[in-house]
């Protein structure tokens, strides 16, 4: 038996609770992992609270991230004792995830824990940090360099935003951090932000084209914020879009794309191919200051993940939440 958060939906309603789970209930997979840490991401918040149609079958163990040690394996790449990390692949949605003390997974979904990080640090990064790195890689692939001007990061006090600010600043970019929480200004400047932008400037409907302001962007919000970011991006600039915290809609026009040559680069972390995942983790090991992880991370126990999920969706959680599944 092991402990985990189990989500059920039946005549009694939708509910999530910490339960004792028999190992025989684990889903199919060729690698069994003894989990050390998981995380809480926006998608986990939706899954645990039921406020979004994230979970595709029941019962379900949520948790799109995990780090741990291989307990047993029939996969050729992994053997008992290997330290591994998992992000995405539909885990916590259609396949039992990381918010439990054990997980059974497909070996093809795993990547080795980088030597530069402890297990706790790997989850302080988690899907949020790995997604932020994918966004930075997208900007680089499209030729955005530090000398071209400011990079704006929306939702900057959240998980993806916090890591994106830290990464971009370390790489020499001038970062404008967007937040609706004025109290987080000092925190964001500690991570490397050069300026703070009030989210209210971008949250309302705007013009098809605005004054050219940014050379590039990392957007986790979507909706009017993304539309306004695109409208204010400089000629030839690039916007990496990876989130929908403000909505799935995009009330924009084609003007930035056909009049300024702006590129809207979609970034997906869930089904991202393995070579790009490995590149992202290698770059995180090189370009993310581990000393900043402590400033953006809070650790909680497994049972605390349920109430914290609700606060995360309400925008009350700063940075990253690491879950110690063994306490």
Q: What domains appear along the chain, each with residue ranges and CATH number?
A: 2-113+290-324 (3.90.180.10), 127-266 (3.40.50.720)
Supply 312's token pair: 């995360």
Give the CA distances from residue 78 to residues 90, 112, 119, 199, 221, in Å, rounded to whole numbers and listed in that order. Answer: 21, 9, 17, 45, 37
pLDDT of res. 29: 96
How far apart are the C-alpha atoms of 286 and 302, rounded to whole Å?
30
What three-state secondary structure class fits 234? strand
pLDDT-derived band at 296, boundaries 50, 70, 90:
confident
What is the chain's mean pLDDT, rounded? 95
Sheet (strand 195-198) strand order: 195-198, 175-179, 151-153, 214-219, 233-241, 263-266
Q: What is the pLDDT of residues 186-219, one digit of tens each?
A: 999 999 999 999 999 999 999 999 999 999 999 9
- Residue 52 — pLDDT band, cuts 50, 70, 90? confident
E-strand stretches of 119-252: 151-153, 175-179, 195-198, 214-219, 233-241
How many residues belong to the chain? 327
The DSSP string of 113-138 is: PPTTS-HHHHHHHHHHHHHHHHHHHH
CB 39 within 8 A of CB 119: no
User: Which DSSP helix (H) or strand (E) runs through 54?
Assistant: none
Model pLDDT for residues 134-193, shown as the tens digit of each residue: 999 999 999 999 999 999 999 999 889 999 999 999 999 999 999 998 899 999 999 999
Q: Which pLDDT tens digit goes with each residue over 8-24?
A: 998 888 999 999 999 99
The position carrying tokens 């940090």 is 129
């Amino acid at each position: 038996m092991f402990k985990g958060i189990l989500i059920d939906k039946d005549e009694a309603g939708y509910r999530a609770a910490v339960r004792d789970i028999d190992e025989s209930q684990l889903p199919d997979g060729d690698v069994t992992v003894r989990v050390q840490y998981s995380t809480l991401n926006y998608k986990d918040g939706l899954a645990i609270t039921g406020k979004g149609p994230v979970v595709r079958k029941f019962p379900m163990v949520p948790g799109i991230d995990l780090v741990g040690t291989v307990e047993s394996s029939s996969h050729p790449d992994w053997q008992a004792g290997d330290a591994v990390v998992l992000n995405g692949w539909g885990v916590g949605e259609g396949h039992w995830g990381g918010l439990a003390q054990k997980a059974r997974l497909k070996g093809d979904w795993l990547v080795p824990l980088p030597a530069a990080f402890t297990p706790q640090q790997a989850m302080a990064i988690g899907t949020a940090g790995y997604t932020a790195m994918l966004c930075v890689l997208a900007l680089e692939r499209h030729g955005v360099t530090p000398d071209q001007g400011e990079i704006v990061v929306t939702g900057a006090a959240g998980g993806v935003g916090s890591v994106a600010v830290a990464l971009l600043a370390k790489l020499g970019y001038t970062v404008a951090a967007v937040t609706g929480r004025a109290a987080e200004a000092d925190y964001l400047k500690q991570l490397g932000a050069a300026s703070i932008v009030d989210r209210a400037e971008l949250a309302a409907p705007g013009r098809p084209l605005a004054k050219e302001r940014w050379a590039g962007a990392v957007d986790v919000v979507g909706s009017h914020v993304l539309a306004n970011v695109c409208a204010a991006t400089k000629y030839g600039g690039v916007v990496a879009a990876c989130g929908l915290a403000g909505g799935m809609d995009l009330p924009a026009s084609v003007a930035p794309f056909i009049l300024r040559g702006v590129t809207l680069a979609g970034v997906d972390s869930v089904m991202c191919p393995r070579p790009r995942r490995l590149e992202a983790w290698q770059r995180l090991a090189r370009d993310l200051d581990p000393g900043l992880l402590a400033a953006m991370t809070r650790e909680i126990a497994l049972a605390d993940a349920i109430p914290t999920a609700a606060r995360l969706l309400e925008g009350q959680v700063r940075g990253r939440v690491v879950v110690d599944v063994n306490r």
